[in-house]
Structure 1
Amino acid sequence: MAAAAKIDVYKEWLGIPEGPRPPDHYALLRLPQFEDDVAKIQKNYKKLNAAVRKYATGKYAAESQELLNELARAMLCLTDAERKVEYDREQGREIDDRDATTGRRPMTSYLQAEGVLTSAQVNEVKSHAERTGLSQRDTVVQLKLADQETATRAYASEIGLAYIDLADMIPDENVLDSVPKSVVRRYTCLPLFVDGERVLVACSTEPSMELEEEFRLRFGAAMRPVLATPKAIKEGIDQYYAQGLRKEKAVPMKVGGAASKLMDKVAQKKPVSQMTDEEKEERSKLGIVLCSMTFVVLANLDAWVLHDLVSICRTFASVDSTCRNANGRRFIRPQKKTATSSK
């Protein structure tokens, strides 16, 4: 708002010292620079609004109305979280938008903090993405505001995944053999190697539950997704799944699991004479565990199978003793007389 010709309303009515006119939102509402307390912002606004309303009638009515509108615009901006972030950046505030718990931050904020996008370009990206239905990552690339790698790094920050350069990775052949080409093409992903109890998988986007279940079934372990550019993943698929290069395993590879570890130890046979005392003790414990498992299986077999077999035999015995004649009348088969009854 332009200052009145005969009166500086900012100084006379609001007590703002001489300086830039119009003042920024914080100075206008008599707040410390970058104040975040919404309650304090609203409290100051109400106080100043009441002070300016005193001049709503009389020769300064027009100036009063204009200043009231300016106060309202400032308050609305500073109490709207998204608009406040944008305004604060314009005022030179360095803002870290990362979530305190997850460490995530919006990709547009990441790109703006990196100096890739301006505030106007952020709005352009959001508007274009909403209008076309494209993701913000694809929108940034399509508008040629950033390359695919930069956009993917920003997207990784937003969804909370690590970004990797596949040029630095050498996938494990056994892991590659365990995942068919049809699967990696369908999900645009590239399995890399076993990382502890998980399988490291490069993905082009946030993995779906379907993809996670696919790897859980194939490896008996959860996947650990990381993000790479779609282009790099497609090139990796072409390289590592070239025609005739890979023979898919009939039996999926298993990672981890108590049962598989136990059987692995049992399978590693070694003559007793070559064992240490610790190995002998371990084998003895394994033998006890296997015997216990066998006992449990046999007990369940007795409870489930034999019990049902006895029930079936009793049923047949009952049917055999109860018969029906040709007319459908029920009769009991005569029992043989014992020696005592004949006498």
Structure 2
Amino acid sequence: MLTGDVFVKEGLITDDQLQVAIAKQLELGGTESITRVMVDMGIITEKDRVRVMGKVWGIPFADLAELESTPEALNLVTAQIAKRFKCLPLVVHQDKLIVAMANPLDVFVIDELRMNTGCEIEPVISVESDILAKVSEHYKIETNVNEALAGVISDFSGEMELLATSDDEEISADQLKAMGEDAPIIRLANLIVNQAVADGASDIH
């Protein structure tokens, strides 16, 4: 467990600040870790907490505000896996996939990533909120398309039910045209095109 003394040794807090944090921790019933109490009190930042944690564990800290993932790395991990495991693939280096993780000691996640990517995994530690923000940023097209696909399936099923219950009724040409123009697959195609344009894609095939 990470103790407050480590932050004193790192020069991030004073002994007096640590004692104040310990008193607050006791006041809260000891349910919160001392590092979480210090973050909540504003004595240290979340970035400080995670960076020192990585140093104690011997795991490099990656500041995602200063790093960008490569397309090659992103293509190895799906949005679903990245969100589920709170991880962000950064780069492939010497046949290893370097991955930013909120908990780089989670061997289960590392094994899952290894099996899903076929790469050896080299974890680095990053702030969880930064990981999730980057995942949302980098995987927004995949996420939007997946959501749209779910809508396509739902809407298509609804339209099939409508047609099935209309055996004894005539559907006008105008109604069919309107259904075609608003068809789920058309909306999905429009979403992909609009997203590509927004992202500055030069060629849309």
Unaligned runs of 5+ in 1: 1-104, 249-343
1:1-343 equivalence runs, <5 A: 106=2, 108-125=4-21, 128=25, 131-244=29-142
Q: Distance in 2 between matches of 1:238 and 1:167?
A: 14
In structure 2, the CA distance between the partners of 1:134 and 1:225, relative to structure 1 (3 Å rule), is farther
Q: How many residues align?
A: 144
Task: Please tell me the residue identity of whatever aligns with 2:58.
Answer: G
Q: Distance in 2 between matches of 1:126 and 1:156?
A: 22
Q: Distance in 1 between matches of 2:143 and 2:135?
A: 11
Structure label with greater radius of gyration: 1
1:117–1:145 CA contact under 8 A, matched in 2: yes
1:107–1:154 CA contact under 8 A, matched in 2: no
Task: Please tell me the residue identity of whatever aligns with 1:149.
Answer: K
Normalised by the length of structure 1, the TM-score is 0.37
Q: Percent identity?
A: 19
Q: Distance in 2 between matches of 1:229 and 1:238?
A: 15
Unaligned runs of 5+ in 2: 147-205
In structure 2, the CA distance between the partners of 1:226 and 1:137, relative to structure 1 (3 Å rule), is farther
In structure 2, the CA distance between the partners of 1:106 and 1:244, relative to structure 1 (3 Å rule), is closer
Q: Distance in 1 between matches of 2:95 and 2:21?
A: 39
In structure 2, the CA distance between the partners of 1:123 and 1:187, relative to structure 1 (3 Å rule), is farther
Higher relative contact order (CA closer than 8 Å, sequence separation 6+): 2
Q: Distance in 1 between matches of 2:29 and 2:88?
A: 32
1:141–1:147 CA contact under 8 A, matched in 2: yes
The Cα RMSD (Å) is 2.9
Normalised by the length of structure 2, the TM-score is 0.59
Tell me the CA shift for residue 222 of structure 1: 2.2
Tell me the CA shift for residue 126 of structure 1: 5.3
Task: Please tell me the residue identity of whatever aligns with 1:223.
Answer: I
Q: Tell which deviates more after alignment, 118-127 or 217-226.
A: 118-127
Q: Distance in 2 between matches of 1:247 and 1:193?
A: 24
Q: Distance in 2 between matches of 1:246 and 1:219?
A: 23
